Structure 1
Amino acid sequence: MTDLYRATERLMGMQDADWRRHANPWSVWTRFSCLPLIVLAIYSREWIGWWCAPLILLAMTWTWINPRAFPPPVDFGSWASRGTLGERIFLARDQYEVPAHHVRAANVLTTLAALGVLPLIYGLIFLNPWATALGLVATILPKVWFVDRMVWVHADITKTLSGDPLPDPTLPHERTPT
């Protein structure tokens, strides 16, 4: 799973400034629109044929733009902001002492989300609305739970409480990788 997490981060081309912007709750919450928009664009081939291609491209463009579309928040203390900060810590777990139970939970949730893609793909291939809806839910719910786990990671590593004001998103001091 380690390579999957880092590969996704590299694919998105996330830099420090992008992560700060993505910590805006508007970015986090609208991020959950990305997969449904891509699915709707693919599903629309039934109605508009190959004209769905620009819609797919537009939805994928939104997926890339979304973490960069909003300004950094003034306060990084919200659940959504801390989820983003926790994900940064999790991605750099070779530099932070992320407890094994968090890594295990993240791997399980990522596996569940990946399994949710199976009915989603089936639903999109065969234009089955029930399989498509099941796949969307089975993919998005573990992702929401993953973000919640990242809030917990952030709280454990920074020794701060979720909901407390956090004007500075500075990550804790990194340890030297072993």
Structure 2
Amino acid sequence: MDFFKGTERMMTMDDGVWLRHANPWSGWTRMLTCLPLLVLAIWSRVWIGTWALIPVALAILWIWVNPRAFPPPARLDSWMSKGVLGERIFLNHRAEVADHHRRAAIVLSLLSLPGFVVMVWGLYALWWEGAVFGTILMALPKIWFVDRMVWIYEDWVREGRSVPGLESRDV
């Protein structure tokens, strides 16, 4: 199964949700809050035991709600908007995206794995430094990934191609 398409399916992202997610407020709040909130919610088992399932569920709910929580942006020229739209292009037209972009996206996704391992170990072993450091190690390649998606978006638009879900909108 394709990891990238699987995560899109799990999030039930359609054209309207993608457009709302292209709002910079959605992209930035997702990047800055979703993973840290989930880590904190899992860590809360230290303080509240099995009641931690409630903040974990709320964090997962926020991860799902976030792309839907903001209106479509008035403009699509911000770095984050381009990154979100570039990800949409990458997911829907990967075979048409330049090889160097596809390779970079895979490498950047793989670069998040060491951070994931450290974060999970930190959460399991109650090693807060590991949980925090792992979260940061996961986030840095993700920011670089978004930047690569901006590049994909800009190449796509420069070629005069329409962005999926925005065919009727001026990008």
Give TM-score scaled by structure 2 length: 0.90
Counterpart for residue 35 of structure 1: 35
Q: Matches of 1:150 and 1:86 in 2, distance apart?
A: 4
Asked if 2 retains the 8 angstrom alpha-carbon contact of 1:24 and 1:72, the reply is yes
1:63-115 superposed Cα distances (whole Å, 9 cap, x missing partner): 00000000000001100000011001100124x62110000000000001123
User: Runs of 5+ in structure 2 lacking a partner?
Assistant: none
- The 1:173–1:84 alpha-carbon spacing in structure 2 relative to 1, beyond 3 Å, is closer
Counterpart for residue 165 of structure 1: none
Relative to its length, the structure with more helix (as a share) is 2
The reply on whether 1:72 has 2:51 as its aligned counterpart is no
Asked if 2 retains the 8 angstrom alpha-carbon contact of 1:98 and 1:153, the reply is yes
- The 1:131–1:45 alpha-carbon spacing in structure 2 relative to 1, beyond 3 Å, is same
Give the superposed CA RMSD.
2.0
Paired letter, 1:92: N
Q: How many percent identity over aligned positions?
A: 51
Q: Matches of 1:172 and 1:98 in 2, distance apart?
A: 17
Paired letter, 1:141: L
Counterpart for residue 53 of structure 2: 53
1:27-67 superposed Cα distances (whole Å, 9 cap, x missing partner): 00000211110100000111111111100000000000000
Counterpart for residue 163 of structure 1: none
Q: Matches of 1:171 and 1:61 in 2, distance apart?
A: 26
Q: Matches of 2:156 and 2:29 in 1, distance apart?
A: 26
User: Runs of 5+ in structure 1 lacking a partner?
Assistant: 161-168
SS of the equivalent of 2:2 reads helix
Paired letter, 1:74: A
Aligned 1:1-178 pairs, distance under 5 A: 3-32=2-31, 33-94=33-94, 97-159=96-158, 170-171=163-164
Paired letter, 2:85: L
Asked if 2 retains the 8 angstrom alpha-carbon contact of 1:118 and 1:135, the reply is yes
Asked if 2 retains the 8 angstrom alpha-carbon contact of 1:27 and 1:67, the reply is yes
Give TM-score scaled by structure 1 length: 0.87
Q: Matches of 2:2 and 2:80 in 1, distance apart?
A: 24
- The 1:170–1:44 alpha-carbon spacing in structure 2 relative to 1, beyond 3 Å, is same
Q: Matches of 1:44 and 1:14 in 2, distance apart?
A: 29
Q: Matches of 1:173 and 1:66 in 2, distance apart?
A: 20
